[in-house]
């Protein structure tokens, strides 16, 4: 009885504590929303916008929590490119902001194109005649690339510049799977479709090596050109320096001699440098604005004219949220949800044109087709212009192809027109090594085909039928692109085969209409819709932190984090197997692994 009373009391206490915590969450959230609605940041005279290049920088930032500002995390940890670009434009127009201070750090960008777009926004800021100064204890490659737009670059006396070029080695798990008795079975079309290779080979295929070398070289040459222009040196000399030197281990004075930085400074000295630019006394404080502050600054530009919708579609393309959680989480493009959003935009008479902002390496072919069909419905009523971000490849290109016009960043990765099916077979592990056998009855020959694929030994006929399905899917992909781009399927096939293309090459083969920014896409949409005055609105709306917290799809994310720590290097291959077995779509339209930049 005593034990029962203890357990009952503990349960009651737990419920009360949970209730108090949830009440606190709701109260803080409500206060935060009221405060943000009723007040905006007032920019003081002689202010500086401070951009700290730390954490991850993606297409859009996920919603923060009401505790972020209290903990000093507002605007840091995870930043959205859209927020950064918007804030830089506000700083350009705000007369009380005299310059931008960039503090370099270990920022991780979701793609080279995201890094390039941030740098382009800063370059545009300088047209106002205002200054940009950059400082870092250590410059990583992406943060240094961004910093080269600055008027002056400074470095800590014990700092380094980790400028090394692009490349790296990927993991190939076939050797591990052979020891475990696991075999990945593949049905695909496209000799360049390399997504499956990490599970089926011990090294890179020559086709994948070919496309990656062209891709990396194109991106690196673009970065070299811009860095060299920013530092007023020759691109060939900079390339030679990076090739011959391990710059991360160079002496700081060598950076100055090579004109990579202007001066070696310590933190207190950089403060004096900023104060001099602001014409402040040494005892004066510097009025600083963070990203969170800038987002709350009212824009100088008034909304007027007709509405152009910018719909952001970024992340893996999936059939449902559960699949995305099994694939590691993060933002995703859910086929039916996105298609429904697009249909609403098609029916919205206030929206005169749609800019479809795509940053995706693909995913489910079924979900991609849902979205492509919805884009066609929108296009039947109003112009659709695609703005490609870091990637619009494979499924990402599938959903882009019907648009009236396609604009890509110079370093956008696109193409990868090809599909595959990837299925793990465990018969070598379960039957040969562990001695588990299977038997049963069925009314029809293929009643248990899914089980046979995963644990059976005689699945050649099933795989042949899957390959036929993949072949039809590939032909459909060719037809889809041909229809959207005004080409013949045979012409598309010549540039398809799963090959990825840099946008600077894709424009030559008619996969892209123009190289340009999101702004260029908006201008093109306005032109096609014959609008003289217009403003933009972003879709879909942000999901609140509370919705994220309570979402059923977030269940298991803590366990995944624990498993990642416990399993170490084995986490990725094991999660890949789990994903492929449980919830992955049979037919995938994915490009090679995403290219992040540090």
pLDDT confidence band for 9 (50 / 70 / 90): low
Residue 597 predicted with pLDDT over 90: no
pLDDT confidence band for 163 (50 / 70 / 90): very high
Cα 87 → chain centroid: 20
| Residue-level pLDDT at 75 | 46
Residue 159 predicted with pLDDT over 50: yes
Instruction: Give the lowest-confidence range in 57-61, 190-194, 487-491, 558-562.
Output: 558-562
Task: Compute the distance between CA of residue 285 and CA of residue 496 in angstroms, rounded to an integer.
Answer: 58
pLDDT confidence band for 34 (50 / 70 / 90): very low
| Residue-level pLDDT at 301 | 77
Residue 242 predicted with pLDDT over 60: yes
Task: Compute the distance between CA of residue 27 and CA of residue 460 in angstroms, rounded to an integer.
Answer: 60
pLDDT confidence band for 338 (50 / 70 / 90): very high
Q: Residue 183: which of 420, 9, 403, 429 has the closest Cα?
A: 429
List the catalytic residue out of 193, 379, 523, 524.
Answer: 193
Angstrom CA distances, 484 to 92, 249, 251, stand at: 38, 50, 54
Whether the Cβ atoms of residue 58 and residue 81 lie closer than 8 Å to each other: yes
The per-residue pLDDT for range 172-200, each reduced to its tens digit, is 999 999 999 999 999 999 999 998 999 99
More reliable by pLDDT, 577 or 219: 219
* DSSP category for residue 464: H
More reliable by pLDDT, 96 or 545: 96
Q: 531 is written with which tokens?
A: 């609008």
Whether the Cβ atoms of residue 177 and residue 183 lie closer than 8 Å to each other: yes
- Averaged pLDDT, 482-505: 97
Q: Considering Cα of 391, then 396, then 397, then 402, what sign does the dihedral take?
A: negative
- Averaged pLDDT, 537-543: 83
The per-residue pLDDT for range 113-153, each reduced to its tens digit, is 999 999 999 999 999 999 999 999 999 999 999 999 999 99
* Three-class DSSP category at 87: helix
The answer to whether 52 is a known catalytic residue is no
| Residue-level pLDDT at 268 | 86
Whether the Cβ atoms of residue 499 and residue 273 lie closer than 8 Å to each other: no
| Residue-level pLDDT at 85 | 96
Task: Compute the distance between CA of residue 589 and CA of residue 318 in angstroms, rounded to an integer.
Answer: 11
| Residue-level pLDDT at 63 | 60
| Residue-level pLDDT at 35 | 47
* DSSP category for residue 596: -
- Averaged pLDDT, 335-355: 97
Task: Compute the distance between CA of residue 436 and CA of residue 276 in angstroms, rounded to an integer.
Answer: 76
Residue 433 predicted with pLDDT over 60: yes
Please tell me the pTM assigned to this model.
0.84
List the catalytic residue out of 387, 394, 517, 585.
Answer: 394
- Averaged pLDDT, 545-561: 49
Q: 255 is written with which tokens?
A: 């950076």
540 prior amide bond cis, ω within 30: yes
- String of DSSP letters for 365-388: HHHHHHHHHHHHHHHTTS-EEEEE
Residue 232 predicted with pLDDT over 90: yes
| Residue-level pLDDT at 174 | 95
| Residue-level pLDDT at 552 | 44
Residue 480 predicted with pLDDT over 80: yes
Angle at CA of residue 511, ends 596 and 212, nearest 5°: 35
- Averaged pLDDT, 17-23: 55
In the chain the domains, ranked by start, together with CATH numbers, are: 42-164+246-295 (3.90.226.10), 306-421+459-587 (3.90.226.10)
More reliable by pLDDT, 460 or 587: 460
Burial tier of 253 (Cβ tally within 10 Å: 0-12, 13-18, 19+): exposed
- Averaged pLDDT, 473-500: 96
Residue 509 predicted with pLDDT over 80: yes
Which residues, 6 or more positions from 149, have their beta carbon under 8 angstroms from its beta carbon?
Answer: 119, 122, 123, 126, 132, 230
**383 φ/ψ angles, rounded to the nearest 5 degrees:** -65, 145
Q: Considering Cα of 252, then 254, then 260, then 262, what sign does the dihedral take?
A: positive
| Residue-level pLDDT at 327 | 58
Which residues, 6 or more positions from 416, have their beta carbon under 8 angstroms from its beta carbon?
Answer: 192, 193, 361, 362, 393, 394, 397, 498, 499, 500, 589, 590, 591, 592
The answer to whether 47 is a known catalytic residue is no
The per-residue pLDDT for range 286-334, each reduced to its tens digit, is 999 999 999 999 887 778 899 999 999 999 999 887 666 555 567 899 9
| Residue-level pLDDT at 592 | 62
| Residue-level pLDDT at 71 | 47
User: SS3 breakdown of the chain: % helix, strand, coil, rounded to 5?
Assistant: 50, 20, 30
Whether the Cβ atoms of residue 398 and residue 477 lie closer than 8 Å to each other: yes
Residue 32 predicted with pLDDT over 60: no
Give the chain's mean pLDDT.
86
pLDDT confidence band for 230 (50 / 70 / 90): very high
- Averaged pLDDT, 356-375: 95
Residue 155 predicted with pLDDT over 70: yes
Q: 188 is written with which tokens?
A: 């695909």
DSSP-derived pairing of the beta strands 514-515 and 419-425: unpaired
Task: Compute the distance between CA of residue 211 and CA of residue 214 in angstroms, rounded to an integer.
Answer: 5
DSSP-derived pairing of the beta strands 588-590 and 362-364: antiparallel
Residue with the two structure tokens 């089980």: 451
- Averaged pLDDT, 383-406: 97
* DSSP category for residue 286: P
- Averaged pLDDT, 265-284: 92
């Amino acid at each position: 009885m005593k034990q029962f009373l203890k357990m009952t009391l503990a349960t009651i206490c737990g419920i009360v504590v949970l209730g108090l915590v949830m009440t606190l969450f709701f109260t803080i959230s409500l206060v935060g929303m009221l405060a943000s609605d009723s007040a905006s940041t007032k920019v003081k005279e002689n202010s500086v916008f401070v951009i700290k290049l730390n954490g991850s920088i993606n297409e859009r930032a996920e919603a923060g929590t009401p505790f972020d500002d209290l903990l000093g995390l507002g605007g840091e940890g995870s930043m959205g490119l859209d927020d950064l670009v918007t804030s830089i434009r506000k700083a350009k127009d705000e007369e009380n902001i005299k310059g931008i201070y960039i503090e370099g750090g270990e920022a991780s960008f979701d793609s080279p194109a995201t890094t390039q777009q941030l740098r382009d926004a800063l370059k545009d800021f300088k047209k106002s005649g205002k200054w940009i100064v950059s400082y870092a204890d250590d410059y990583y490659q992406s943060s240094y690339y961004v910093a080269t737009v600055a008027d002056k670059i400074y470095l800590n006396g014990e700092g380094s510049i980790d400028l090394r070029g692009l490349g790296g080695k990927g993991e190939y798990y076939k050797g591990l799977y052979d020891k475990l008795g696991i075999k990945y079975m593949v049905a695909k079309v496209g000799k360049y479709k390399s997504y499956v290779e990490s599970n089926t080979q011990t090294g890179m295929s020559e086709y994948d090596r070919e496309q990656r070398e062209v891709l990396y070289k194109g991106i690196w040459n673009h970065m070299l050109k811009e860095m060299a222009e920013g530092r007023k040196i020759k691109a060939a000399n900079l390339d030679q320096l990076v090739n011959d030197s391990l710059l991360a281990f160079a002496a700081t004075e060598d950076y100055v001699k090579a004109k990579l930085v202007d001066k070696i400074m310590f933190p207190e000295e950089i403060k004096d440098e900023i104060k001099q630019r602001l014409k402040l006394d040494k005892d004066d404080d510097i009025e600083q604005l963070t990203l969170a502050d800038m987002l709350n600054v009212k824009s100088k530009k008034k909304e007027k004219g007709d509405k152009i919708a910018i719909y952001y579609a970024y992340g893996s393309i999936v059939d449902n949220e559960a699949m995305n959680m099994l694939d590691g989480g993060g933002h995703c493009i859910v086929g039916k949800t996105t298609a429904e959003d697009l249909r609403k935009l098609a029916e919205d008479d206030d929206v005169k044109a749609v800019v479809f902002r795509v940053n995706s390496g693909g995913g489910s072919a079924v979900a991609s087709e849902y979205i492509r069909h919805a884009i066609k419905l929108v296009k039947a009523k109003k112009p659709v212009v695609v703005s490609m971000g870091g990637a619009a490849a494979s499924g990402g290109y599938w959903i882009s192809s019907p648009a009236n016009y396609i604009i890509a960043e110079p370093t956008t990765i696109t193409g990868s027109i090809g599909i595959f099916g990837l299925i793990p077979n465990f018969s070598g592990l379960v039957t040969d090594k562990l001695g588990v056998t299977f038997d049963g009855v069925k009314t029809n020959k293929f009643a248990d085909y899914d089980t046979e694929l995963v644990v059976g030994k005689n699945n050649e006929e099933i795989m042949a039928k899957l390959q036929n399905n993949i072949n039809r899917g590939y032909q459909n992909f060719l037809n889809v692109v041909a229809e959207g781009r005004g080409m013949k399927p045979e012409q598309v096939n010549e540039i398809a085969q799963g090959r990825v293309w840099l946008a600077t090459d894709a424009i030559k083969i008619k996969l892209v209409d123009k190289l340009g920014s999101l702004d260029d896409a908006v201008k093109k949409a306005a032109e096609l819709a014959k609008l003289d005055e217009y403003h933009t609105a972003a879709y879909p709306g942000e999901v609140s932190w509370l919705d994220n917290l309570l979402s059923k799809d977030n269940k298991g994310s803590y366990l995944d984090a624990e498993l990642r720590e416990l399993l170490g290097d084995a986490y990725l291959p094991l999660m890949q197997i789990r994903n492929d077995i449980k919830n992955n779509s049979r037919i995938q339209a994915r490009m090679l692994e995403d290219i992040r930049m540090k």
